[in-house]
Amino acid sequence: MTGPRTTLEEQARLYGGTVGDSVRRVTTVLRLSQAGVARTLGVSAPMLSQVVNGHRVKFGNPLAVQRLRSLLALADEVERGLPFEEVAARVELVAREDSTTLSRPEDAPDPAVVAGAVAGLLRAVASGRQLAAAADAVAAQAPDLAEVLRVYGLGGPDEQRAHLERVAHLL
């Protein structure tokens, strides 16, 4: 029998973090109840509770995962200044997402190509020393941005690939 700790570790491996952490972020930033999140994802409240509490590793429906990613992206927008008055309508749009949103358009760039372009751009506009200093300067206020500066400005392709895998749910 797999215990909650192992289940949560598997969630972190699959999703880049636990579902519980993601749902807590969504409920806090978007001011939704857990039942509201479940409705938006298209799963039952008990199912969501089981996944959040580590009694299940994942959702049976990939559409629920896509919708949770969309809610997290919406939370990012709210934190960047999206007027809160727009949240309810945007949550409704997330609830109506269907399976056609699960695949990337064929013309969407490969994330590894984008990573190479970002690395090239950072290295074209600043030296390694400048990028390290910039990362240090923003680390307290924006640790994720500092990580991007370090990984893509100073790191190699393997480090960039590993970072992309960790943040793929945000893309």
Closest CA to 119 of 166, 68, 74, 161: 161
Average pLDDT of every residue of the chain? 87
Question: What tokens does 108 get?
Answer: 């969407």
Give the Cα separation of 73 and 79 in Å (integer).
Answer: 10
Q: Where does the pLDDT of residue 158 fall: very low under 50, low under 70, confident under 90, or very high at 90 and above?
A: confident
Give the Cα separation of 62 and 44 in Å (integer).
Answer: 14
Question: What tokens does 110 get?
Answer: 């490969």
Largest CA distance in the chain: 53
- CB neighbour burial string for 87-113, b if at least 16 within 10 angstroms, e if fewer: beebbeebeebeeeeeeeeeeeeebee
Please check the confidence at residue 103 and state whether its pLDDT lies above 70.
Answer: no
Please state the rounded mean pLDDT for residues 19-41.
95
Please check the confidence at residue 171 and state whether its pLDDT lies above 80.
Answer: no
Please state the rounded mean pLDDT for residues 105-134.
82
| Sequence spans of domains, the chain | 4-101, 111-170
| Cβ–Cβ under 8 Å, residues 31 and 80 | no
